[in-house]
Structure 1
């Protein structure tokens, strides 16, 4: 089923700066779903899922958070934190005129979604979380992103050279996920260093006490044998949250290579969150 797709933008201003953020809308109606990408990845990674959700009547928006994709990329580490990203999601909802949305994402996007639910619970209809990054992922995240921070800061020519090499490759001539990989390599060293620095030294996710107070319907998807996103974190999160369900992916690649099962789980969850008429109270 074909669905309408529209690209939009909005601007955020703070302390003399004005940053542009870009998003894509799929479908229409009042049953909003916002999908957020992983760290350094573009919003286009969620295009297949967004189209699937929109084909079932949901109004889906994918957002490039600041420093990612086609949004602005300031080189100031203070511009980047999970809290700042959550504020961008709320600003997107205000821009769209959406009172509530099911908010979800992958990795960084999952943590940002949690932050939105913790700080602006009245704006969240449900949470769709894949691969959250919590306590069990700390060491692996340092190993994965620490060298990237040092390389971008002290050997920026490596990151900038990758950008020059990957930018000219036509995305329409390569498989979809290869194109996402090329988009992820399309980085400026100063912006990469700022993003990683800001996330390393800022708030990563709501505390356990805050997570236990999130009462909206939640679907948590965890992957086996994923050191950066341990399934133990996803399972723990589902146990902490009173209205959460845990779904184990068959592999780290299932939702990318054979998405039918998890796509249907996501469709059923998002549609069910909008069918529910139960009012959720603010956290205690």
Structure 2
């Protein structure tokens, strides 16, 4: 009798991890020959597109986990660094910074990538930008994801929070440079450490121009205009967040004719315990593309 050893038996096929959705970093010029460079990252591929923009002084990196989840679900996701943020150019002219201007940049991204329509979303500043895109180019918007919108109830808290930063950037620029230098020395590699260091790495003149342009311009479409936005929207509001009051999100959901409201458990739920909100966002995007 011939014996068969374990070496003669076929080895089991190695278990393969599912491939990570393709990620591509790109940039484009916005504003003609003398325009500014805007940076973006694409996750995944396909005809059904989601565009995400970030909070003030943050970067597109903050939406990387959500973008990867949506890409793994079969969507093409693009995260954009608005002017003055992240890897995009940071001019020092305050007139370049406003919510309508950021909306124009988002539409320009769609044009650059040849995207006819997309679900457009964002957090805080990005939430208001999404609303402005819906006003400026409703035919380009498949749906809205609005997390932490900033309306009238947030103005005082916003000025108290960002006013000292504007003062420091204008009159104590050495402090901004020092914080940025320290942030650049922190090793990269952790998602949220990288997000924080991106935020701290500011340039005084550009930071002052950004804060001045945003807080002394139009913060959000007025209520009469919001009532005409008939695009399906997912509005996410947070308790215990004075800069993004729950009342602003609740008011916005009531103002929009076709809005679904979701209450987050905390301002950081989508960042550190994202499963529930990510599922709601993914379901909303699926519904917009009738999957």
Alignment TM class, shorter chain as reference? over 0.9
Structure with larger Rg: 2
Counterpart in the other structure of 2:30: 12
Q: Report how far residue 67 of structure 1 moved.
A: 0.2
User: How big is each residue's C-alpha offset from its partner over 1:27-58, in whole Å with a ceiling of 9 and x where there is no partner?
Assistant: 00110100000000010000000000111111
Counterpart in the other structure of 1:40: 57
Matches within 5 A, 1:178-189: 178-189=193-204
Question: Is 1:58–1:271's contact at 8 Å kept on the other side of the alignment?
Answer: no
Question: 2 CA distance for matches of 1:90 and 1:186?
Answer: 27
Question: 2 CA distance for matches of 1:274 and 1:95?
Answer: 22
Question: Which of 128, 133, 137 matches 1:120?
Answer: 137
Matches within 5 A, 1:27-66: 27-66=44-83
Q: Report how far residue 145 of structure 1 moved.
A: 0.8
What residue ranges of structure 1 are gaps of 5+ in the alignment? Answer: 277-284
Question: 2 CA distance for matches of 1:224 and 1:171?
Answer: 31
Say which SS state the counterpart of residue 171 (structure 1) adopts.
Answer: coil
Q: Report how far residue 189 of structure 1 moved.
A: 0.5
Question: 1 CA distance for matches of 2:256 and 2:73?
Answer: 27
User: How big is each residue's C-alpha offset from its partner over 1:136-166, in whole Å with a ceiling of 9 and x where there is no partner?
Assistant: 1011011011111011000000001111111
Counterpart in the other structure of 1:209: 224
Counterpart in the other structure of 1:246: 261
Aligned-CA RMSD value: 1.0
Q: Report how far residue 18 of structure 1 moved.
A: 2.0
Q: Report how far residue 170 of structure 1 moved.
A: 1.8
After the TM superposition, list the runs of 4 or more consecutive aligned residues in structure 1 that deviate by more than 3 angstroms: none
What residue ranges of structure 2 are gaps of 5+ in the alignment? Answer: 1-17
Question: 2 CA distance for matches of 1:50 and 1:154?
Answer: 38
Q: Report how far residue 13 of structure 1 moved.
A: 2.5
Question: 1 CA distance for matches of 2:225 and 2:35?
Answer: 31
Counterpart in the other structure of 1:95: 112
